Amino acid sequence: MRAEVAEVACPNCGVGLKALGGGRVVIQVCTHCGSALDAVDNFRLLKTHAELPRPDTPLKLGDKGRIQGVDWVVIGILGWSEAKRWTWTDHQLYSPSHGYAWLTLEEGHLIFSRAWRGAMSPTWMTERGIETAEKPPEIAARGQSYRYYETTDAKVTFAEGEFSWAVMVGDRSKTLSFMSTDAMLTLDQGPEREVEISTYPPQAETWASFGIKAAAPLRVHPLQPRRVWRDERFLSGLGAVATLVATLAWGVLQSQGNWVEPRVLPKAGGLEVEAELPITTTTGVVELRIRTDVYNAWAGIETEVTDPSGTVLFQNAREVGYYAGIEDGESWSEGSQVTSIYFRPTEAGDYGLSLSVPEGGAGEGAGGPSLSRPSLTVYEGRAASMWMLMALVLSALMAGLPLIRDWLHNRARWRGSDWSDD
């Protein structure tokens, strides 16, 4: 608590300055002439900075508001700039019961920060430690993990009111920031080694408590929680049910149809296949399932299908590739040795199929096909299940809506991080 000082007269311009802060105030900057006064030494004049550009903030000294259930009063305003491109405004808050805190206004977002004196592991981090780290360093505190976000080297461009630390216009501050899911730890690299914790207060509610109506900011702030849509959980649940139903329906549709024995003609050789497909129905579609034995290799397969009159129905080119191995004791595989081609028959009769493998190679190379002759399995009367596949994809997207939105939001939150794997 502070000894009774209600108002002081600026020794430079004589204007009366209200003393709003408590006993830890060390600097008071005159609102009229910009003079910095030493609050610890009988408000002695330290320095004068006149005609400084005011930061754009609707808050002013003496404004009162409520954050995290505590009543605060604005006792100081600081303008900051980093590399003349990035600017923000800090408002020093004071509460007789909770001490000092900061309310930062940055791109329309309000951020609440206060001193953090709890245990951290490691207990400190330096810029050098960040530069030599191979992956983003992390700090454990409050039962959470805070990952390195950015290094800030900022300059004070404006000061007005009372402050709990000796700050002057022109002072520089270098900080390292680490972010968890909902908070940020900022390590001041100055000799005091202070740590602050920042959180994102409810914006409209906080502005309203200060009696201000502010527009919602456009960009996502790193500390901003994702806004959950009103019906998001319901939609996600509905999507999960729809995905289950569509998966079952997809399985049923896939089991429909009859096997057709192709008559493979002997004239083709090597990797080429010539066959006649005795199609008996125009209901549904025909599936040509082509199986290969590519292994850590790929192959380009070209097919041509003619209708019973000998007219070319379509030509198609497909690539199959299958790769597998063991890495760090774990087996892995990707790709497939099988591909399917679908077409809708125009009439019953013998359809002609020509299949060739003109290109391919081992690994990612193009040294020529590296496989045995492909085998062919044919089904007719398959249900046209493309719409069901689309329904399946859409319902899965709906079910995964919260996860997708989480991912997009997190990507936006971390977009401003200056960490580089290089």
Partner 1 sequence: MERRNCMTCGADLGEAFGWSRMVNCAHCGTAHILRDAVFAAAGSAGVFHDAPGLVRLMQPVQTLQGRFLPVGVVRFSYGRGAWDEFWALDDLGKGAWISVDEGDIALQRPVAAASLPAAPRERSAVIAFDDRDWTVTEAETATCLAFRGQLPEVFVLGDQFTFLNASSGDGRILSGEFWPGGHAWFCGPWIDPFDLGAK
- Contacts of partner 1 in 134-163 (CB under 8 A): none
Contact 130, 176 (CB under 8 A): yes
Instruction: Using DSSP, state whether 19 is helix, strand or coil.
Output: coil
The residue from 8, 99, 335, 394 that contacts partner 1 (CB under 8 A) is: 99
Q: Does 182 bind partner 1 (CB under 8 A)?
A: no
| CA neighbor of 65 nearest in space, from 5, 57, 6 | 57
Question: By CB under 8 A, is residue 22 in contact with partner 1?
Answer: yes
Closer residue to partner 1 in complex, CB, 25/279: 25
- Given the complex with partner 1, which of 97 and 309 has the nearer CB atom? 97
Residue-level length of the chain: 422
Stretch that binds partner 1, among 44-52, 57-65, 187-195, 265-273 (CB under 8 A): 187-195
Q: How far apart are the C-alpha atoms of 201 and 69, rounded to whole Å? A: 11
Structure tokens at 323: 């790769």
Q: Is 97 in the site for partner 1 (CB under 8 A)?
A: yes
Among 7, 84, 118, 131, which residue interacts with partner 1 (rule: CB under 8 A)?
A: 118
Which listed range, 89-97, 154-162, 238-246, 400-408, lies at the site for partner 1 (CB under 8 A)?
89-97
d(CA 16, CA 122): 46
Binding-residue total with partner 1 (CB under 8 A) = 28
Q: Is 27 in the site for partner 1 (CB under 8 A)?
A: no
CB nearer to partner 1: give 120 or 353: 120
Q: Which stretch binds partner 1 (CB under 8 A): 189-197, 218-226, 287-295, 309-317?
A: 189-197
Contacts of 83 by beta carbon, 8 Å cutoff, 6+ apart: 153
Residues 226-265 as b or e (16 or more Cβ within 10 Å = b):
eeeeeeeeeebeebeebbeebeeebeebeeebeebebeee
Shortest distance, position 98 Cβ to partner 1, whole Å = 4
- Residue closest to 226 by CA, chosen among 160, 181, 283: 181
112 near partner 1 (CB under 8 A): no
Residues at the contact surface with partner 1, assessed by CB under 8 A:
1-3, 22-25, 39-40, 68, 94-100, 114-115, 117-120, 123-124, 191-193
